[in-house]
Amino acid sequence: MGWRRFATAKLASLLSRNPNLDPSIFSGAASAAPSAPSAADVLPFLGCRQRKKLRKKLQSPRVRSIQPDAGRRLLHFEAIVHSDAQLRFITRTKSFLAGLPGHRLPLADAGKLHRELGFPRGRKVSHFAACHPLLLHLPRLPPDSKPYLAFTPLMDSLLEEERALMDAMEPQRVTTVRKLLMISAGRRIPLAKLHHCRLLFGLPDDFRDQVRKYPDFFRIAVDPDGRHVLELVEWDPALAVSALERDFVPDEARVRRTFKFTIPHGKSLPLEEDDERRLNSLTTLPLVSPYSNGLELKPWSLEAEKYRVGVIHEFLSLTLEKRAWIHHIVEFKEEFNLTKHTYQMLLKQPRAFYLAGTAMNWAVFLKDAYKDDGSLIEKDPQVVFNETFLRYACMTESERGEAIVEKRING
């Protein structure tokens, strides 16, 4: 971040003017390894104007953490969000170039497609491509020898592997879409919304064409607004079981602890911790199934809040990595009967969800799906492939030989 570079430079300037200043005051005496100073540590040493400018940056939604309590932040989840932001370019570029003939694009045109390729406007595409030498290169092709942004042979082989994987996982993806329709109001979702969130569920880019292969499950219609919507043909009671309901029998104690719907009481009713927990359990259970009809519930009732929390929990459990960005969840606001108080609702359920990222762009994690080190307990084959792909994306040119040998052994 820019403020980190500014803070580091300011600290170096202070130390050069005052050699007796102990640099450990910026990173904490208890820390064994030196770390970059935070902007808040440098504030006392700045002038009034610089301090005001830096404090304003710290309050920006681009920087301010979505977690209000710094002591409760889980660094492994924050690191996942940070990694996603760093690899946004290669992830979007893979999806975009894979749909073009020859998997290439004139470099002169690439700069105009910065949004589709996932990099900030005005930046050089060649710079971003150079960060991923094993997957992208800039060949000059005849007859005019103009440079192109194209996939490397290794990247082409990875695409073939992913295509074969998606074909093998197609029945599971069909089930996922059926369950999404079953938790949606009216049992219908606009196709554009599903296509926008396709990577969350491992759906192929041609998903909108693939659904026509399953007329017994899906029907495509046009709503009054002219949008193409995907409708559920027939309700399947066997699928109307949420992830929490499946886990209730083998691990009832964990499911009981997942959510917490408190009963407000005054100070005149002093309760010990055990008594308060038992009192809250009276309203926490029974839960409301996300497969029930949420339109029949009063919008601000306790049952309606249980329903909305359950829908988001089931939605996240259907994703590949058991997490989603908030804009993906808000995308289905109408279908899931969500309100404008979704953030406050999620914040009240810290046992079930963790919110990571900044106030402008944050993600929701399903905590029970992760180990203490931030790795998934169960990994979908597509997740395993994505991890391999991102490992290649982070390799340097000097590691090209090692990557090719590894690909031949695994392939």
User: Where do the structural domains in the chain lie, given as residue ranges?
Assistant: 2-59, 73-87+242-379+394-411, 88-159, 170-232
For residue 39, the tally of other CB atoms under 10 A from its CB is: 19
Residues 27 and 35: their CA atoms lie apart, in Å, by 6
Do 88-159 and 170-232 come out as alike in CATH topology?
A: no
Ranges of the chain with pLDDT below 50: 1, 11, 14-15, 19-37
CB 201 within 8 A of CB 173: yes
Q: Pick one of 3.30.1490, 3.40.720, 3.30.420, 1.10.3470 as the CATH number of 170-232.
A: 3.30.420
- pLDDT attached to residue 174: 96
pTM above 0.95, yes or no: no
Q: What is the CATH number of domain 88-159?
A: 1.10.10
334's tokens = 């109408």
pLDDT in tens, 237-273: 999 999 888 876 666 666 666 776 665 555 555 656 6
pLDDT per residue as tens digits for the range 66-114: 887 778 889 999 999 988 887 888 888 999 999 899 999 999 898 888 8
* Cα 375–Cα 377–Cα 380 angle in degrees, nearest 5: 95
Give the chain's radius of gyration (CA, Å).
25
DSSP characters over 98-153 = TTSGGGEEEHHHHGGGHHHHTS-TTS-HHHHHHT-TTTEE--EETTTTEEEEEE-H
Residue 109 CB neighbour total at 10 angstroms: 11
Distance between CA atoms of 175 and 182, rounded to whole angstroms?
11
pLDDT in tens, 16-38: 555 444 444 444 433 333 444 45
